[in-house]
Each structure stands twice: as C-alpha cells, then as structure tokens.
Amino acid sequence: MAAATVAACGGGGSAGSPAVDKSTASVPSAPVPPTDNGPSAEGIWQGSMSLGWDTTAFVLPTGQSYFIFSLKGVVQDMVAGYGTSRVGSFTSTDALDFSPLPLRRTSVNISGTYSVGQSFNGTMTKTAGEFSHTDTFATTYQPLYASTPVLSALSGAYKGSAALRSGTGAVTASLDAGGLISGTLTLPSGTCAVTGSVAVAGNGKAILNAKVALAGASCPLDGGYTEGAAAVLTDASGSTLYLATLLQDKSDGVVVLATKQ
C-alpha cells in the first residue's frame, strides 16, 4: 500500500509560501494486519487414491507440494505444484502431472481439506483433453515429519523403482553419510548414471532438500539437473527412500521409490 503524502512545513511558512494548515494535513494510514490463514498443510502424508495407488505427499512450508503414486512398490505417477493453505483448505491451480504412462505432462487442479497433524484429503482434476478426469486421495499425517533426519543413519544401499516421463525402470543407488547419492537408473529407453545429494532443510524437518543429475549417452534425460524433495520413511517392512525432483523448466522430473537393502 502506498503511504499517504505528508506535507512538511517550517515554523510559520516562508515569504511567498502559505503556511500549511496542520489540521488538514494527511497522515499515513494504519498498516493492514496480515491475513491469518492458520496452520498450513505442511508435512508428510501417506494413504491411497481412487485408482488404488499408494500415495505419499510432501507439502513444504512454502506450499510446494509433491505427490508420489505407486503400486506394489512401482512408481506410477507424480504430481507437483504450489499449493495454498487457508484455514483447513488446500488449493493448487498450477500443479503438473508427470506421468510415464502415457508419457504426458498435464495440468492438474488440486482441492483438499486438512486437519493439522491428522488428515489431508482431496481431489485432483486433470484438465488435458481426452485425459480429463478427477481422482480422489485420502492420507494421514506421518509424525516422523517433525523429527530431524540424521544422514549417517539413512546412509546405505537402496534398490527399487524410478521413473522419468519417458518411462519407468529400476534404480540402484547408494547414499553416503554426507548425503551424497550415486547410482544407476535403467529404463526401457536407456541407462542413466545418477549423481546428487540430499540435505537437511532449514526448518530441520524430515523432508530433505534433494538434487539429482542424470547422464549417459542413452539416457533420455542426459545432462538433466533436477531439484526437489526427499524423505526416508520407516515402517515394519524397512526403510524406503521417496524422492521427487524437477527440471528448472518443469518439463520433466525424477521419481524414486527405493527400499534400503
């Protein structure tokens, strides 16, 4: 808001210049207090969606969000976009669906409701012609989000599923105690050498900052450099690395779902 102009004056004005009537001089408006949208939907959420796929969602404090969809440990899809939280409602109108099946990137609108520390449910509506449809998702909050990861405890060998827009394949990777990643992504269309890193974010929560670079003569994304988020989640079956990163122009991305060996 532009501040209102305040006229300045000397003691009684100068010759040839009328004195300013202080009783009518404008004063700055009081600042408008910021809107309180309440606690946001930030966190790690897990559950399922209407296609029967397992759903893992990362919602960062900035509103940047990543939804990883899988079936029996195999990556099926990823949706990423910026969302706005407001008093229990979450909306995103700029999300993108990076689907390896059928190798398309489509626009998605997300609308949901959340209860802090409990549930996050909603709909995703794809808006691309013949692929237009709406899916629902239902997830619960993962308390691990509030903890600070210890990279040395997460280090080890990981093996599982990974995808680019060009298809889904197998990934083997190692994560060292300093957060460095190295490995191989094997796709039907070629093989990519994988390098990168994860690091604890500034807020100290369980969602890590992630960077991944791909290279290789047959790699569909040779020379690609991506950034995003990752987390290692542990349950009765072991520890699993979830990673979602995008190119700067958001034309493609990397999705990883790999279990610790």
- Topology annotation, domain 43-145: Porin (2.40.160)
Q: What pLDDT was estimated at residue 126? A: 87
pTM of the model: 0.85
Indicate where the chain has its CATH 2.40.128 domain(s): 147-260
Q: What pLDDT was estimated at residue 249? A: 94
Please tell me the number of Cα atoms within 13 Å of 85 on its side-chain side: 21
Residue 100 backbone class (left: φ over 0; alpha: ψ -120 to 50; beta: rest): alpha
CA 137/CA 12 separation, integer angstroms: 71
What sign for the dihedral angle of Cα 44, 202, 91, 132? negative
Count of Cβ atoms closer than 10 Å to residue 95 Cβ: 22
Task: Give the architecture-level CATH label for domain 147-260.
Answer: Beta Barrel (2.40)
Q: What pLDDT was estimated at residue 112? A: 98
Q: What pLDDT was estimated at residue 106? A: 86
Contacts of 150 (CB under 8 A, 6+ apart): none
Q: What pLDDT was estimated at residue 129? A: 58
The per-residue pLDDT string of the chain (261 residues; one tens digit each, 9 = 90 and over) reads 433 333 333 344 444 444 444 444 444 444 444 455 779 999 999 999 999 999 999 999 999 999 999 999 999 999 999 999 999 999 999 999 988 765 678 899 999 999 999 999 999 998 765 567 899 999 999 999 999 999 999 999 999 999 999 899 999 999 999 999 999 999 999 999 999 999 999 999 999 999 999 999 999 999 999 999 999 999 888 999 999 999 999 999 999 999 999
Indicate where the chain has its CATH 2.40.160 domain(s): 43-145
The token pair at 142 is 């993962």
CA 220/CA 217 separation, integer angstroms: 8
The token pair at 211 is 């960077």
Q: Cα-atom radius of gyration of the chain, to the nearest Å?
A: 24
CA 66/CA 243 separation, integer angstroms: 9
